[in-house]
């Protein structure tokens, strides 16, 4: 069979049966059946921007992750083969990082529960921060201890407590400890005590 | 031991699998047959909470058969040092060491010291990681032949002499032949040519003898010469991405950055007293630099306001005076003494022991701030806590004001995590967070700005540290997004030379005169040469086996701690096969594959001059550079509050009497008797039979800790969708439980409902002439998420290790019954009747000295 | 083309599979080698697959089959980690298996009732050979794990784990019976469903002797492992193999994987693991060998896989000859449907 050319060829070639009869794939189960979409399939990471080099947020093995983005959105997270720790591999939790970061379970807005309320309500972030700062200073003052029973200096507050840090960056923990200590707060703990 | 590495650290386990394929023998000791056991060459089932008996048996096997690595032990450990005459062992006092004060449930440790050396008393939470200093004479009394009856070696031998294979079987339920198989494998794979590594996790720490569990492992490894050498070591596998970092830069009450202690009200009234308590006459090693570390920290915190005249602002620091741990704080919440609580990335309502205690604490706050990625039980307790069903929390009557602030995820901010082998790795920011999501750095910065503004005009001296706080980090973002640039914060953590404004390159450059500022001395070098070393990413196939150009490992980017011990006393590798570091006489320095963890030019035969202190006082064969005597401690003369040697004590809740001593449990364990925290009775108390089974809990691969990062994800939730309880077929038959049927596990705290898994991975133990059944549950569930379930931690009471205040959540006693747990207001009623059978509420088992020693000599 | 030519092509074990399927200068045939002896059962493969391919969850059901809550491969589970607890005695335990019948009775109905994407549409029992006994191949065995396999005489408790996946057969039943050309052989020798073509007829479901391919209850179309066809176009390793922490799942050129599998088998035999065996390695088996090979530590049925599967279309040529249908373009185009009908009609 001689092959037609030009537009007719392209039109005919889009028809799998024609491809099967004219091409080498006589059973019609291979190249002839391949759809244009299949032919053009590519990994979504190949079109992405260069990945950010990151670290898995779950356990403390410290597996390296590559975070692929497109148009300001995370499109894929997978292991970084260059890592001497993980060699590109991830466990099921690390492999679920994309869902962790992009899933609908992520809260995006401040939620506020007023005393005695039975439901959440909305609150602007800035207002929330002002309210929290006011409450911190108030609780700090109310829980203040200058000295113990023997007169030893304490200069601390027991009115506020903090918990958390094992999921937080070193730089953030540093600011937490620094601010907390300057406030005179000693009750600060994290998962390491557990 | 105490670790389920394949399930909890699967990607790390690739190295174990690879070692196994190269011929390494893998042994797993665990109460339960796990995915780790499935790949072990040998699996040993053990009764939960008896690790010291097992390891003590190994120590006894080593010493009784002269299998220790004698050259290593003689040169690098304190085996030869003599202990004071006043010291009395648990063998002499039926389970107590000398110095026990029964009324106060604590020790006066003064009799545990080295002969001739000064002694600082050991009290919990007062000494940071360094422990109290050792006030040392020029030379500690010693017997290099290890024969003196009071030398550490002989004391160790006597202390463990009754930890025989028979005793191991009786206590742990491990058949003698299986136990001896472990001993043979461990000793055969140690020495000049071979090393063995020991891996543990919270299966060791979460006990009333947690610190001593690890001590026992360290003693075995020191005796066999497995510390400081490639393929050796004691590995703590940690559970959260930055739990190591949050210990180094501690969001913990008892520490300042770099394991410096928080100032203590009694012992550290001023800077001089603080520094004196850290350092002592003749003390060796790097803790001698504590003055430079602390003063540089104060300079970073208070900037120009920290001057020599005002003790660099030391007086502005708050003081601790005892236990301010998370459980103590929670109880103070219930008692109305804590008003506000900030919780970030943690879920105590599910993840902490005695969940009900936690939630009752939350319900009695004025306000609560929760920062997290997703909604979780700690934020929603007021509407979905189990106590709502029982009527203990009524939403309309609960006054706690709750702020939930959505957090930025790990890809929405840059920063470092410190992983479980002390390596800091920098994360690049990939995208901006959306909506109200913000980083924690943003939160603290914004909070600081608001507080500073409110205190601008204050004349109250209490506000001085806040007014003087140095907070001039480079900012990025603007307006509502303004936050400190984490790169600049890391640079300040690394430390600066204030005379030049440039970064310091290592802790040795820190000075005590106020000319350097450093946020964490231990992280000095992470920004050496004005470069973020944690961001180094040279692929592993382009560098050597220790990969120094990937990330940055504290201290000083060395990958194996105490690596001086990888060479023999003369500075030669112990063997070609286990070569790591060696002395190069021609160059006059230590060299090798890793950064030397030792003064680089101190030769092997070096003897320090009289009166030297600190690093200069280290002999050429003192590899343990953070210890005041430079040696590995087989015997801990100070630093631990429950004894200088690990001793088998039964868990706080146990079905068994301690077969070794009259003293049943750790005599110094921290108990918190109160109505919300009742304990199950244990022998020799009556009514132990009410809770006849051993309860232990742990994690699954498919979920993460308290579940907030996994229960909300469909791809993880579907893999383990429901709470289940594993029991052996024998226990199932005994209690009429059917596979996949419903059962409830009961303790005096709570009842938890779960689906039953009948599996041969659980098995009863035969020990001490009886059968002991163990019950296991994973603890990931709570009322929130795609998959929900009862909170397993509600079953546990709070009782803690006295050294570190970590709760004993890896072992308790329980009963298990078929069918659903009681619902509605009933559980408390039903529990009350159980508690009554168990000897009344709250009082059972709440005293530390649960047993009067059989014979007090 | 004559019916003989078709017969020949269907019966021949094609070595240059892609070339036979009409690709000029195709890349080497690729596949998986799943070495179950190092599988730690972490299920990273299941999650990595779903994250990359955007496969939804498969139901939040507790199945009670050890740690396996996926149950089987399906439209929404393209990797499935099976867990097999094998009888011991470990330590001093008594005979605990008395309860096993009870366990089985509990597990089986739940598994069958679990919402599985469209498996009811096609996974009817398939004969493994003409006149052979009907065997349920869609699910793991419900008998006592290890029964009749010699496991009774073992002295150690074993917990076997295995990550199952589409076999990418050399003679792929699903592909043979697909009437629309949605299923096709890629240039890499793998078998892929083209979602832009599949009309959800479900013939492929009964064409698979392993119970792999399945229709989705969400879109009605057939879904299964694509061996990350999109990633292959960019030279990337499939998501599951890349994530696997212990290299239990290895990806590569099939020829090389076969050698690797042979070496690993020899190593294990040398170490005394005599029960180790390869599955899908033999190009002469009923499906012409797999594109994804397995190293198993017990017989395939222990893991819930058929011991000697045969592609249902293997006997199609004889039928074809007997029917004696005239060759023609339209018949060729409809060959898949035709073969499927023939299979369906067989007693």
Residues 188-227 of C with CB under 8 A from A: 192, 194, 196-197
Domain total of chain C = 1
Residue of C nearest to A78 (CA): C243
In B370-439, which ranges are continuous DSSP H helix? Answer: 377-384, 386-390
Chain B residues with CB-CB distance to A62 below 8 A: 241, 417, 419-421, 423, 425, 551
Q: Which of C38, C72, C79, C92 to mutate to test the interface with B (most CBs of B within 10 A)?
A: C92
Contact between B404 and A82 using a beta-carbon 8 Å cutoff:
no
Q: Which residue reads 């592609």 in tokens?
A: C311
Contact between B728 and C51 using a beta-carbon 8 Å cutoff:
no
Q: What residues have CB less than 8 Å from B451, skipping those under 6 apart?
A: A133, A136, A137, A179, A183, B466
Q: With an 8 Å Cβ cutoff, is A32 touching chain B?
A: no
Query: Counting one residue from B and one from C, how many pairs have CB atoms under 8 Å apart?
Result: 141
Parse chain B into domains and list their residue ranges.
Answer: 285-419+422-552, 670-837
Residue B409 pLDDT grade (very low, low, confident, very high; cuts 50, 70, 90):
very high
Burial class (CB in 10 A: 0-12, 13-18, 19+), B542: exposed
Is C84 assigned a ligand-binding role in the annotation? no
Residue C131 pLDDT grade (very low, low, confident, very high; cuts 50, 70, 90):
very low
Q: Which residue reads 């759809």 in tokens?
A: A35
Q: Are the C-beta atoms of C140 and C82 separated by less than 8 Å?
A: yes
Contact between A89 and C51 using a beta-carbon 8 Å cutoff:
no
C-alpha angle with apex B164: B160 to B166, nearest 5 degrees?
Answer: 150
CA distance C77 to C56: 8
Is residue C97 scored above 70 in pLDDT? no
Residue B364 pLDDT grade (very low, low, confident, very high; cuts 50, 70, 90):
very high
Q: Taking residues B845-855, what's their average pLDDT? A: 40
- In angstroms and rounded to an integer, the radius of gyration of the C-alpha atoms of chain B is 27
Q: Transcribe B194-254 into DSSP letters.
A: ----EEE-HHHHSSTTHHHHHHHHHHHHHHTT-SSSTT--EEE--SSTTTTHHHHTT-STT
Contact between C62 and B717 using a beta-carbon 8 Å cutoff:
no
Q: With an 8 Å Cβ cutoff, is A13 touching chain C?
A: no
Chain A residues with CB-CB distance to B324 below 8 A: 158, 186-187
Q: What is the pLDDT of residues B777-794, one digit of tens each?
A: 999 999 999 999 999 999
User: C190: helix, coil or strand?
Assistant: coil
Is C201 assigned a ligand-binding role in the annotation? yes
Contact between A95 and C233 using a beta-carbon 8 Å cutoff:
no
Is residue C161 scored above 90 in pLDDT? yes
**Out of B338, B425, B489, closest to residue A55 by CB:** B425
Is residue C100 scored above 60 in pLDDT? no
CA distance B698 to C32: 33
Q: Which of C4, C5, C51 to mutate to test the interface with A (most CBs of A within 10 A)?
A: C51
Contact between A181 and B301 using a beta-carbon 8 Å cutoff:
yes
Q: What is the pLDDT of residues A82-136, one digit of tens each?
A: 999 999 999 999 999 999 999 999 999 999 999 999 999 999 999 999 999 999 9
Is C208 assigned a ligand-binding role in the annotation? yes
**What is residue C17's predicted lDDT score, i.e. its pLDDT?**
81
Fold entry, domain B670-837: Barwin-like endoglucanases (2.40.40)
Chain A residues with CB-CB distance to C20 below 8 A: 30
Burial class (CB in 10 A: 0-12, 13-18, 19+), B584: exposed
Q: What distances in angstroms separate CA B604 from CA A168, B271, B570, one per listed residue?
A: 42, 36, 5
Q: With an 8 Å Cβ cutoff, is A29 touching chain C?
A: yes
Is C6 assigned a ligand-binding role in the annotation? no
**Out of A100, A142, A162, closest to residue B251 by CB:** A162
Q: What's the gap in Å between the CA of A115 and the closest CA on chain B?
A: 4
Q: What torsion do the CA atoms of B712, B390, B338, B351 make, to the nearest 10 degrees?
A: -30
Structure tokens at C99: 């309860």
Q: Which residue has the higher pLDDT, B165 or A23?
A: B165
Q: With an 8 Å Cβ cutoff, is A65 touching chain C?
A: no
Is residue B209 scored above 80 in pLDDT? yes
Q: Are the C-beta atoms of B146 and B745 separated by less than 8 Å?
A: no
- In angstroms and rounded to an integer, the radius of gyration of the C-alpha atoms of chain A is 30
**Out of C22, C48, C184, closest to residue A23 by CB:** C22
Q: What is the pLDDT of residues B58-83, one digit of tens each?
A: 999 999 999 999 999 999 999 999 99
Compute how many other C-beta atoms are within 10 angstroms of the C-beta atom of residue B160: 29
Q: What is the pLDDT of residues C179-220, one digit of tens each?
A: 999 999 999 999 999 999 999 999 999 999 999 999 999 999
Q: What distances in angstroms separate CA B423 from CA B416, B418, C46, one per listed residue?
A: 9, 5, 29
Chains adjacent to A (≥3 CB pairs closer than 8 angstroms)? B, C
Contact between C94 and B730 using a beta-carbon 8 Å cutoff:
yes
Q: What is the pLDDT of residues C278-325, one digit of tens each?
A: 999 999 999 999 999 999 999 999 999 999 889 887 776 666 555 554
CA distance B425 to B490: 12
- Terminal-to-terminal C-alpha distance of chain C: 29
Q: With an 8 Å Cβ cutoff, is A27 touching chain C?
A: yes
Residue A3 pLDDT grade (very low, low, confident, very high; cuts 50, 70, 90):
low
**What is residue B280's predicted lDDT score, i.e. its pLDDT?**
75
**Out of C9, C192, C234, closest to residue A27 by CB:** C9
**What is residue C117's predicted lDDT score, i.e. its pLDDT?**
33
Q: With an 8 Å Cβ cutoff, is A4 touching chain B?
A: no
Residue B402 C-alpha from the chain's centroid: 31
Out of 3.40.50.1360, 3.40.50.300, 2.20.25.90, 3.20.20.140, select the CATH number for domain A52-102. Answer: 2.20.25.90
Query: Counting one residue from A and one from C, how many pairs have CB atoms under 8 Å apart?
Result: 137
CA distance C319 to C152: 43
Contact between C196 and A43 using a beta-carbon 8 Å cutoff:
no
Q: Which residue reads 């930025």 in tokens?
A: B408
> Which of these, B61, B90, B86, lies nearest to B647 by C-alpha position?
B90
Q: With an 8 Å Cβ cutoff, is B175 touching chain C?
A: yes
Is residue B161 scored above 60 in pLDDT? yes
Parse chain A into domains and list their residue ranges.
Answer: 6-39, 52-102, 108-135, 143-194
CATH of the domain at C167: 3.30.70.20
CA distance C237 to B685: 61
- What is the average pLDDT score of chain B? 94
Burial class (CB in 10 A: 0-12, 13-18, 19+), C25: exposed
CA distance B470 to B491: 14
Chain A residues with CB-CB distance to B425 below 8 A: 55, 62, 64
Q: What is the pLDDT of residues B734-765, one digit of tens each?
A: 999 999 999 999 999 999 999 999 998 999 99
Contact between C110 and B718 using a beta-carbon 8 Å cutoff:
no
Is residue C59 scored above 80 in pLDDT? yes
Q: Which of C245, C320, C331 to mutate to test the interface with A (most CBs of A within 10 A)?
A: C245
Contact between A116 and B396 using a beta-carbon 8 Å cutoff:
yes
- Strands, E, within chain C: which ranges? 30-35, 79-86, 126-127, 134-135, 158-165, 183-185, 191-193, 214-215, 222-223, 249-253, 277-279, 292-296
**What is residue B826's predicted lDDT score, i.e. its pLDDT?**
56
CA distance B91 to B299: 50
In B682-825, which ranges are continuous DSSP H helix? Answer: 714-717, 729-735
Out of 1.20.58, 3.10.310, 3.40.50, 3.40.720, select the CATH number for domain B285-419+422-552. Answer: 3.40.50
Question: What percentage of chain A carries pLDDT values higher than 70?
Answer: 91
Q: Are the C-beta atoms of C340 and C207 separated by less than 8 Å?
A: yes
β-partners of residue B812 are: B695
Chain C residues with CB-CB distance to A76 below 8 A: 51-52
pTM: 0.92
Q: Are the C-beta atoms of B122 and B641 separated by less than 8 Å?
A: yes
Q: Transcribe chain A into DSSP letters.
A: -PPP-HHHHHHHHTSHHHHHHHSS-TTSSSGGG--HHHHT---TTTTSPPPEEEE-SSSSS--EEEEEEETTEEEEEEE-TT-TTTTT---HHHHTHHHHHHSTTS--S-EEE-TT-SS-EE--HHHHHHHHHHHHHHHHHHTEEEE-TT--EEEEEEEEEEE--TTS-HHHHHHHHHHHHHTTEEEEE-GGG-
Residue A48 pLDDT grade (very low, low, confident, very high; cuts 50, 70, 90):
confident
Contact between C244 and A79 using a beta-carbon 8 Å cutoff:
no
CA distance B86 to B113: 9
Contact between A190 and B539 using a beta-carbon 8 Å cutoff:
no
The range of the structural domain enclosing residue C211 comes to 3-345
Structure tokens at C273: 């693991």
**Out of C90, C93, C94, closest to residue B43 by CB:** C90
Look at phi and psi of residue B758 and say left if phi exceeds 0, alpha if psi is from -120 to 50, else beta.
Answer: beta
Is C174 assigned a ligand-binding role in the annotation? yes
Q: With an 8 Å Cβ cutoff, is B310 touching chain C?
A: no
Q: What residues have CB less than 8 Å from B774, skipping those under 6 apart?
A: B31, B32, B47, B48, B693, B694, B695, B696, B728, B762, B764, B765
Q: What distances in angstroms separate CA B149 from CA A57, B57, B112, B137, B153, one per listed residue?
A: 52, 21, 15, 21, 8
- Strands, E, within B282-412: which ranges? 340-344, 367-372, 401-406
- Strands, E, within B120-223: which ranges? 198-200
CA distance B802 to B325: 11
Q: With an 8 Å Cβ cutoff, is A163 touching chain B?
A: yes
Q: Which residue has the higher pLDDT, C208 or C18?
A: C208
Chains adjacent to C (≥3 CB pairs closer than 8 angstroms)? A, B
């Amino acid at each position: 069979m001689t092959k037609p050319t030009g537009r007719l060829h392209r039109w005919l070639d889009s028809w799998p049966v024609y491809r099967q009869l004219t091409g080498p794939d006589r059973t019609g189960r291979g190249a002839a059946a391949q759809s244009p979409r299949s032919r053009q399939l590519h990994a979504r990471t190949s079109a992405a921007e260069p990945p950010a080099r990151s670290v898995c947020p779950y356990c403390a093995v410290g597996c390296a992750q590559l975070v692929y983005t497109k148009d300001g959105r995370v499109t894929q997270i997978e292991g970084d083969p260059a890592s001497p720790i993980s060699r590109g591999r991830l466990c099921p939790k690390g492999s679920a990082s994309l869902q962790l970061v992009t899933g609908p379970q992520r809260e995006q807005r401040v939620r506020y529960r007023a005393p005695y309320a039975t439901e959440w309500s909305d609150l602007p972030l800035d207002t929330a921060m002002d309210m929290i700062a006011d409450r911190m200073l108030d609780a700090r003052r109310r829980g203040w201890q200058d000295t113990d029973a023997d007169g030893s200096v304490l200069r601390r507050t027991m009115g506020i407590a903090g918990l958390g840090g094992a999921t937080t960056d070193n730089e953030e923990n540093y600011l937490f400890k620094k601010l907390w200590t300057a406030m005179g707060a000693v009750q600060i703990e994290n998962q390491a005590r557990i | 031991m105490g670790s389920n590495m394949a399930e909890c650290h699967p990607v790390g386990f690739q190295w174990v699998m690879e070692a196994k394929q190269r011929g390494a023998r893998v042994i797993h000791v665990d109460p339960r047959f796990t995915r780790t056991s499935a790949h072990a060459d040998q699996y040993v089932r053990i009764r939960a909470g008896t690790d010291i008996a097992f390891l003590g048996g190994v120590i006894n096997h080593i010493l009784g058969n002269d299998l220790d690595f004698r050259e290593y032990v003689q040169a690098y450990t304190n085996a030869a040092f003599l202990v004071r005459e006043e010291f009395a062992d648990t063998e002499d006092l039926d389970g107590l060491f000398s110095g026990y004060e029964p009324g106060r449930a604590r020790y006066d440790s003064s009799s545990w010291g080295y002969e001739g050396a000064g002694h600082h008393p050991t009290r919990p939470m007062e000494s940071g990681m360094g422990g109290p200093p050792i006030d040392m004479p020029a030379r500690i009394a010693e017997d290099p032949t290890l024969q003196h009856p009071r030398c550490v070696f002989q004391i160790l031998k006597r202390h463990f002499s009754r930890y025989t294979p028979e005793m191991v079987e009786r206590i742990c339920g491990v058949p003698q032949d299986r136990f001896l198989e472990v001993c043979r494998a461990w000793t055969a794979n140690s020495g000049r040519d071979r090393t063995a590594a020991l891996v543990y996790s919270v299966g060791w720490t979460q006990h009333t003898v947690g610190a001593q569990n690890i001590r026992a492992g360290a003693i075995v490894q020191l005796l066999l010469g497995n510390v400081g050498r490639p393929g050796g070591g004691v590995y703590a596998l940690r559970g959260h991405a930055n739990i190591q970092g949050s210990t180094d830069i501690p969001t913990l009450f008892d520490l300042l950055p770099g394991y410096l202690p928080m100032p203590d009200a009694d012992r550290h009234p001023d800077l001089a007293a603080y520094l004196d308590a850290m350092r002592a006459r003749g003390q060796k090693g790097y803790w001698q630099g504590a003055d430079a570390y602390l003063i540089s920290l104060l300079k970073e915190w208070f900037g120009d306001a920290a001057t020599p005249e005002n003790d660099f602002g030391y007086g502005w620091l708050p003081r601790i005076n005892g236990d301010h741990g998370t459980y103590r704080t929670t109880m103070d919440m219930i008692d109305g003494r804590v008003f506000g609580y900030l919780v970030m990335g943690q879920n105590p309502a599910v993840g902490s022991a005695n969940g009900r205690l936690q939630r009752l604490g939350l319900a009695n706050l004025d306000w609560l701030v929760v920062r997290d990625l997703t909604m979780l039980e700690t934020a929603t307790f007021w509407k979905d806590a189990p106590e709502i069903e029982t009527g203990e929390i009524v939403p309309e009557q609960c006054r706690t004001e709750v702020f939930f602030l959505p957090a930025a995820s790990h890809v929405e901010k840059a920063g470092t995590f410190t992983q479980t082998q002390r390596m800091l790795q920098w994360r690049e920011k990939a995208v901006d967070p959306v909506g109200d999501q913000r980083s924690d750095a943003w939160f603290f910065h914004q909070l600081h700005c608001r507080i500073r503004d409110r205190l601008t005009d204050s004349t109250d001296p209490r506000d001085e540290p806040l007014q003087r706080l140095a907070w001039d980090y480079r900012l990025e973002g603007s307006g509502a997004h303004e936050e400190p640039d984490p790169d600049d914060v890391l640079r300040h953590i690394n430390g600066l030379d204030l005379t030049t404004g440039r970064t310091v390159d290592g802790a040795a450059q820190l000075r005590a005169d106020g000319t350097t500022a450093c946020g964490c001395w231990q992280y000095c070098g992470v920004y050496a040469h004005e470069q973020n070393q944690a961001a180094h990413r040279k692929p592993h196939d382009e560098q050597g086996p220790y990969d120094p150009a990937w990330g940055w490992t504290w201290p000083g980017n060395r990958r194996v701690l105490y690596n001086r011990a990888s060479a023999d006393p003369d500075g030669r590798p112990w063997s070609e096969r286990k070569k790591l570091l060696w002395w190069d006489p021609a160059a006059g320095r230590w060299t090798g594959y890793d950064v030397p963890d030792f003064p680089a030019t101190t030769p092997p035969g070096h003897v320090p001059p009289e009166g030297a202190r600190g690093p200069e006082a280290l002999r050429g064969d003192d590899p343990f550079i953070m210890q005041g005597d430079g040696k590995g401690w087989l015997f801990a003369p100070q630093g631990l509050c429950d004894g200088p040697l690990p001793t088998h004590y039964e868990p706080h809740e146990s079905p068994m009497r301690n077969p070794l001593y009259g003293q049943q449990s750790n005599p110094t364990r921290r108990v918190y008797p109160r109505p919300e925290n009742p304990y199950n009775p244990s022998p020799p108390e009556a009514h132990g039979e009410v809770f006849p089974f051993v309860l232990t809990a742990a994690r699954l691969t498919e979920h993460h800790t308290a579940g907030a990062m996994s229960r909300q994800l469909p791809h993880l939730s579907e893999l383990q969708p429901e709470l289940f309880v594993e029991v052996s077929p024998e226990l199932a038959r005994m209690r009429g439980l059917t596979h996949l049927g419903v059962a409830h596990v009961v303790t005096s705290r709570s009842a938890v409902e779960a689906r039953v898994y009948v599996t041969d991975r659980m098995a009863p133990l035969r020990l001490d002439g009886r059968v002991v059944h163990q019950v296991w549950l994973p603890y990931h569930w709570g009322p929130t998420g795609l998959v929900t379930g009862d909170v397993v931690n509600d079953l546990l009471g709070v009782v803690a290790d006295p050294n570190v205040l970590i709760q004993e959540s890896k072992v308790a006693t329980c009963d298990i019954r078929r069918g659903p747990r009681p619902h509605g207001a009933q559980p408390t009623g039903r529990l009350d009747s159980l508690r009554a059978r168990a000897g009344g509420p709250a009082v059972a088992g709440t005293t530390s000295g649960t047993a009067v020693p059989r014979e007090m000599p | 083309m004559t019916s003989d030519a078709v017969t020949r092509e269907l019966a021949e074990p094609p070595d240059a599979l892609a070339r036979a399927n009409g690709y000029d200068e195709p890349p080497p045939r690729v596949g998986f080698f799943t070495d179950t002896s190092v599988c730690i059962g972490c299920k990273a493969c299941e999650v990595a697959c779903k994250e990359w391919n955007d496969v939804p969850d498969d139901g939040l059901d507790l199945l009670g089959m050890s740690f396996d809550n996926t149950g089987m491969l399906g439209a929404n589970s393209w990797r499935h980690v099976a867990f097999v607890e094998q009888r011991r005695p470990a330590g001093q335990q008594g005979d605990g298996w008395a309860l096993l019948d009870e366990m089985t009775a509990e597990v089986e109905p739940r598994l069958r009732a679990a919402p599985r994407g469209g498996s009811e549409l096609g996974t009817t029992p398939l004969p493994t050979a003409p006149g052979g006994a009907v065997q349920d191949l869609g699910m793991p065995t419900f008998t006592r794990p290890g029964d009749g396999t010699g496991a009774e005489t073992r002295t150690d408790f074993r917990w076997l784990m295995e990550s199952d996946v589409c076999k990418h057969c050399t003679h792929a039943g699903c592909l043979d019976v697909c009437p629309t050309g949605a299923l096709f052989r890629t240039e890499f020798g793998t078998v892929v469903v083209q979602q832009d073509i599949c009309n959800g007829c479900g013939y492929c479901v009964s064409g698979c002797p392993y119970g792999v391919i399945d229709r989705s209850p969400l879109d009605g179309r057939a879904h299964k492992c694509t061996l990350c066809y999109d990633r292959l176009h960019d030279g990337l390793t499939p998501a599951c193999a890349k994530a696997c922490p212990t290299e239990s799942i290895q990806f590569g050129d099939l020829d090389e994987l076969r050698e690797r599998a042979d070496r690993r088998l020899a190593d294990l035999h040398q170490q005394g693991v005599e029960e180790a065996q390869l599955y899908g390695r033999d190009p002469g088996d009923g499906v012409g060998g797999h594109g994804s090979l397995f190293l198993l530590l017990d017989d395939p049925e222990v893991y819930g896989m058929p011991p000697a599967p045969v592609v249902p279309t293997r006997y199609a040529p004889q039928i074809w000859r007997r029917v004696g249908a005239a060759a023609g373009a339209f018949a060729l185009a409809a060959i898949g449907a035709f073969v499927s009908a023939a299979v369906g009609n067989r007693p």
